[in-house]
Structure formats: structure tokens, C-alpha cells
Amino acid sequence: MHTCSGVSCARLQRRNQKRGRLAKEINILGIETSCDETAAAVVADGRNIKSSIVASQIRLHAEFGGVVPEIASRAHIENIYPVIAEALARAGVQKGDIDAVAIANQPGLVVALIVGLTAAKTLAFAWEVPLIAVNHVHAHLQSAMLEEETLDLPAVALIVSGGHTNLYRCTSPLDLTLIGSTVDDAAGEAFDKVATILQLGYPGGPVIEKTAKSGNPKAIDFPRSMLDRESLNFSFSGIKTAVLYYCRGQDMKGADRVASMTPQEIADIAASFQAAVVDVLVKKTKRAAEQTQAKTVLLGGGVAANTALRNALQEMCDRTGRRLLIAPRPLCTDNAAMVASLAYHKFLAGEFADLDLEAKATS
Ligand code: KG4
Ligand code: ZN
């Protein structure tokens, strides 16, 4: 990290003084291309979302049952400038109104990250504003606290997405300590894989949730992995395998059984699977809140859109006297408003990136 990028500190100060910008709002352009969404947003002062544009590639990847990195990369290249242009237009701002450009440079698919990163560097350089590097998973957490004026900290944050299932102790937007994570599949990944097993399509989360509505969550007792241990880590590959064995038999020779199942049988599997995942997520979050004496629980990431999870976590928080803050649904899945919002805190802290910033697959 460095204090400035593409523009010297003295120049930045002079520029801000000239515009009187320090007394005015801080507009940050956020860019997000870590996986299969090309997104750009303009957020003022970390909380006022002036625009948030998301170009989803779901249609392109659906036929492959998952994200194909090369296809994602090419689609980002096609979408990135129209998406940024629309974010600026919808926000009613011009390049001179932007105080910094923020980019999620990790974690994610490097071939995808690099597209947004290159655009962000180019704009920061051309507009002579700082570049701010943001961790994509940390930004998901920002979606849950974006609308809050005050937070009772420390908080415990559960971030559940297609690539991550993380528990953090959070003492400020910039101060997160990882206290638990998955040892194998992420929760969203399990939803996606189980949807593939049940031949429900991609992405799995929304379609499993919809299918589960008419199912019995107690029909099948799928395993709740790693609940017996003290640790705050998760494991979801066992439950995915249990669904697979349930559908195809222990010898894995019954591949056609899913095709011949009734809609009710499929719904019961979806509901029982969802109940098992939610059960584990809620119990581990409760344990994390107890261990860290957190009064606030934050929930973000794509799987946070799931109503069963939202309700179960709310019920746990009500029962244990904790406050739950959940990301609004449009901000649960990947977006750039969360990137710009987290970047605001880095802007205030003077945490700017150099123009040789790299994309990284991992956190
Ligand atoms: O945060 P996100 O958009 O991308 C990553 O950073 O991974 O999360 C995408 C994940 C996918 O695995 C998707 O199936 C899951 O979030 N998801 C859901 C729901 N909506 C999206 N999972 C469960 N229930 C949902 N309603
Ligand atoms: Zn994400």
C-alpha cells in the first residue's frame, strides 16, 4: 500500500482545496469484476448510492453449470466501459466529480479481476485521482452496514457467497479478523452443486430456495458437519455428497433416479438440504457471537439473499438479544456499491494503492 497513486499527495491536496472538496461529499467510483458480474457504482460518503450498475453473465455460464473463467473475462472486456459509463450517467456525475476509483482486486478469478483492475488503474491515472484496492469478501460485509449510522461493536460478520463462507470479528469496517472459514466447499458452492445434482439449473441458490418452498425441511436428515467441535470452521462437501448418494444410491449407479423423482421428492430434498446448511450457519454464527461477546451480527454475500437463512438468523438474534443487520437483497450478490462504500473508509484513512497493484486469486 502507498499513500497515493497516479497523483502526488501535494497535488491531490491542492486539487481538493481548489475545489473545496474536503468540505463537500466524497464521490467514489467502485468497480467489480471478480467473478461473473461486471459492476460499477458511484457512492457518496460511503453510504449514498448514487448509481449501482450490474451486468450479469448468468445466461452465458448457465449452459456450463458454472462460471467458465475465459468466458467471464471476455464478457467483462465487452461490458466494462458501457457499465462504467452508465454508472456515471445515472449518478449524474462527470469525471471531475470523482474523488477516487476503487477496485476489488482480490480474491476472485484472476482473468476476470484483471479486466476491472486495468480499467480502474487507467481511470485513476487519467483523472488524476487515487486508486483504492478493496478485498471483495470484506466489501460484502460493507453491504450489511452501509445504511447504519452507528454500530454496536464488536460485531460478528457471516459472509456466505459462492466462493467463501467466512466468520469475522469486526471492530470497524477496516478492522476484520477472520475467526472461521470453510475447510472445503463454500455454502453457495454447495447450493450450486446440489442444484446441478437435482437438475434444477444454475445458479443453484435461488432455484433451490424456490423449490424448497413446497418441500418438507424435515423429510431427510442430511448431516450437519463439524457442529460437534469447538471450532468456528465449516464443511459443506459432506452434505453435498450425502445429497448425491441419496439421489443415486451408495453405489452411485442410480443416475437416472433424479429424472424419475416426483416434484414433491425433489422439493423435499431441496428443503432438507437448505435446512441443514442454514442450521450449521446459524449455530456457528451463534457460537462465534458468544466467543467474541458480539452484540451485533452482520450478514452478507450471495447466500444472504436466502429467506430461510435470514429468518433463522433473525430468530437466533432475537432469542439471544443481539442485533442483526442484513445486506439489502440487491446488495447481497456481487455489486460495486459495496466496493465504493468500503473504499470510502480507506479514503479517509489515506490507504491508497500504487498503479502497479496486482490481481490476486486469494485473500
Ligand atoms: O456473492 P456472490 O454473488 O458471488 C461470490 O462472491 O461468490 O454469491 C453467489 C452465490 C452463488 O453460489 C448463488 O447460488 C448464491 O450466492 N445465492 C444463493 C441465493 N442467491 C444467490 N444461495 C442461496 N439462496 C439464495 N437465494
Ligand atoms: Zn461475492
The whole-number pLDDT of residue 22 equals: 52
Atom of ligand 1 nearest to the CA of 305: 26
Instruction: Tell me, using a 6 A CB cutoff, whether residue 192 lines ligand 1.
Output: yes
Instruction: Tell me, using a 6 A CB cutoff, whether residue 305 lines ligand 1.
Output: yes
DSSP state of 169: E
Residue 16 has pLDDT above 70, yes or no: no
Instruction: Tell me, using a 6 A CB cutoff, whether residue 204 lines ligand 1.
Output: yes
* Closest C-alpha residue for ligand 1 atom 23: 205
Residue-wise pLDDT for 243-266, tens only, equals 999 998 877 665 668 888 999 999
Residue 221 has pLDDT above 50, yes or no: yes
The whole-number pLDDT of residue 334 equals: 96
* Domains of the chain from N-terminus onward: 6-142+333-349 (3.30.420.40), 151-327 (3.30.420.40)
Mean pLDDT of 19-29: 76
* Closest by CA position to 123, among listed 103, 143, 142, 144: 103
The whole-number pLDDT of residue 6 equals: 38
Instruction: Tell me, using a 6 A CB cutoff, whether residue 130 lines ligand 1.
Output: no
**Do 36 and 72 meet the contact criterion of CB atoms below 8 Å apart?**
yes
Ligand 1 centroid–CA 309 distance in Å is 12
* Closest C-alpha residue for ligand 1 atom 16: 302
The whole-number pLDDT of residue 94 equals: 95
The whole-number pLDDT of residue 248 equals: 86
Question: Which phi and psi (to 5°) does residue 3 adopt?
Answer: -75, -25
Instruction: Tell me, using a 6 A CB cutoff, whether residue 205 lines ligand 1.
Output: yes
Ligand 2 centroid–CA 288 distance in Å is 22
Q: Which ligand is nearest the CA of 336, by number?
A: 2
Ligand 1 centroid–CA 57 distance in Å is 14
Euclidean distance between CA atoms 306 and 140, whole angstroms: 15
Instruction: Tell me, using a 6 A CB cutoff, whether residue 5 lines ligand 1.
Output: no
Mean pLDDT of 325-338: 95
The whole-number pLDDT of residue 254 equals: 59
The whole-number pLDDT of residue 63 equals: 85
The whole-number pLDDT of residue 114 equals: 98
Mean pLDDT of 170-184: 95
With bands split at pLDDT 50, 70 and 90, how would you rate the model's confidence at 197?
very high
The whole-number pLDDT of residue 255 equals: 63
Residue-wise pLDDT for 32-59, tens only, equals 999 999 999 999 999 999 999 999 998 8
With bands split at pLDDT 50, 70 and 90, how would you rate the model's confidence at 3?
very low
Residue carrying C-alpha cell 466468520: 167
Residue 10 has pLDDT above 60, yes or no: no
Q: Given ligand 1 and candidates 191, 309, 329, 362, which is best to mutate, with the most ligand atoms within 8 Å of its CB? A: 191
Instruction: Tell me, using a 6 A CB cutoff, whether residue 6 lines ligand 1.
Output: no
Q: Which range (88-92, 148-152, 233-237, 352-356) has the least confidence?
A: 148-152
Residue-wise pLDDT for 265-302, tens only, equals 999 999 999 999 999 999 999 999 999 999 999 999 99
* Closest C-alpha residue for ligand 1 atom 8: 302
C-alpha distances (whole Å) from 135 to each of 106, 155, 233, 247, 346 are 5, 19, 21, 38, 11
Ligand 2 centroid–CA 127 distance in Å is 28
Residue-wise pLDDT for 75-105, tens only, equals 999 999 999 999 999 999 999 999 999 999 9
Ligand 1 centroid–CA 203 distance in Å is 7
Q: Which ligand is nearest the CA of 203, by number?
A: 1
Ligand 1 centroid–CA 303 distance in Å is 4
Pure H helices in the chain = 9-19, 58-62, 69-91, 110-127, 136-145, 187-197, 204-212, 237-248, 257-260, 263-292, 307-320, 337-349
Euclidean distance between CA atoms 227 and 274, whole angstroms: 16
With bands split at pLDDT 50, 70 and 90, how would you rate the model's confidence at 5?
very low
Instruction: Tell me, using a 6 A CB cutoff, whether residue 203 lines ligand 1.
Output: yes
Euclidean distance between CA atoms 244 and 197, whole angstroms: 7
Instruction: Tell me, using a 6 A CB cutoff, whether residue 301 lines ligand 1.
Output: yes
Residue 2 has pLDDT above 50, yes or no: no
Residue-wise pLDDT for 208-218, tens only, equals 999 999 999 99
Atom of ligand 1 nearest to the CA of 108: 6
